[in-house]
Every structure is written in structure tokens, then in C-alpha cells.
Amino acid sequence: MTSTLPDSPAAPVAPLQRARQARATWLLVLVGVLVVACATSIVLGSRDVGWADIWAGLTGNTDGFTQAAVAKRVPRTALAAVAGAALAVSGLVLIESTEVTTEILSPETMIPPIGAGILALQCREGDTRIIDAVSALGDPDTHREATAERMFLHVLQGHCNSPIAGYATAGRGGELSLRACVFTPDGKTQLNAHEWAGRLDPATLGTSVAVALLRQGARDLIDTIPH
């Protein structure tokens, strides 16, 4: 009897290597496209900006106004691309098609900013017709979660540059929890707190978690960051 099985278990390595090489190639292509898009956006958006100024700005030479503008605009464009990718992943989660993603960071790994992912609809206070029409769109659990997070941020009195994160979740039984963190911009110092509401209302829960972080020194971390 003869066997058609490969003599060495290492036979499938070649196809695996080709797959990895293909992924690496596509990654390099995407990075190249991103770089070209950043540069093109500068040229098309500001006709007076030449390639010399673009290169100077990218290499850290910000003596001139145009070069300084390039140095600021390119990171923002790259950040917009990353934000777009995050929105794409969010859409995949909503339609339950996460099999195409390689990893989704859990709130325990990376706590999101206050109110992240919450959609709000604002209307005039006295417009009862509109209020009645859209009230059915509201989600009570989301409202409680947002209330806890916003009160948490209010008590800490953070500003736009404050690295403050908070994530409230309502369990199946309606019990609310709030996980929060205050940290330094380099991430070397992190203050964490996680509490369950129990009988507390959302606003009291947010206050309690904020006070817990203040006792750990959150006020000093927040005040040392310029804004």
C-alpha cells in the first residue's frame, strides 16, 4: 500500500507563508495609500502648499506657517482614518458580522470615553408633539448608563485633555455598574474604580465612583495636564 500523505509535517508551511506575505503586502499597500491620501489632501486643500513644504513639515521642520500646518494636519488625517476604521468595526458588531475582525478590545482592556456609542436626539422642550413621537426610540437602560457616566465626569470636573474614561452597563436584571479610570497621558499611572449601583440611582453611582478615584489622587492627575 502506498500513501499520498506528505513525508514531512512541514509541508503546509509554504501556503501559510504565502498567505502571510499576501497580508503583509496588502498592509503595505494600504499604508502607502494612506500616506498618499494625506499628502494629496494637503495639496488639494491648500493650493499654496508645495511638496517641499509637505516634506519639511513631515520631517519636523515647522519654522514656517505652512510647514507647521502640514505637521498638524497629517496626524489629524491619519487619526480620521483610524476613526473611520473604528466606525466600520462598530457597524460589523451591530450587524453581527464580527468574523472578519481580528480582535475586539473589551471594556476591561480599554475603557471607552464617556458617552461613547450613545446616540441622542434633541428637540424643543415644549414641543410635546415631537416628544411624544420620538419617545418610543429611547432606551431606558442606555439613559441610566449615560446618566451615571455624565455625573461621574461632572464630579471629576475634567477638561478636553483629561484622560478620563468611564463605561456603565446595565445587567439583565437592571442592576447598573460603572467601571472608570483616570490616567496620565503616557499611561504609566492608572487609577481604577468599579462599583455596582445596588440600590443607588445612576447619578449617585457616578458620584460614588468619582469620589473613589478622587481619594486615589485623580484630582492631582487631572490638574497637572494643561488645557
- Report residue 65's pLDDT band, with 50, 70 and 90 as the boundaries: low
User: What integer is the mean pLDDT of 94-123?
Assistant: 75
**pLDDT tens, residue by residue, 86-106:** 777 666 666 665 566 666 677
Q: Which amino acid is at 213?
A: L
Strand order in the sheet with 176-183: 164-170, 176-183, 190-196
Length of the chain counted residue by residue: 227
pLDDT in tens, 126-140: 889 988 888 888 888
Distance of CA 159 to the CA centre of its chain: 17
Distance CA 96, CA 2 (A): 47
Q: Where are the beta strands (DSSP E) in 89-183?
A: 164-170, 176-183
Q: What is the residue-averaged pLDDT of the chain? A: 76
This prediction has a pTM of: 0.56
The DSSP output letter for 167 is E
Tell me how far CA of residue 222 lies from CA of 13, 117, 118, 208, in angstroms: 51, 24, 25, 18
CATH 3.30.160.40 given to domain 128-223: yes
The pLDDT, as a whole number, for residue 2 is 39
Domain spans in the chain, listed from the N-terminal domain onward: 14-100, 128-223
Nearest-5° angle of CA 73, CA 79, CA 85? 145
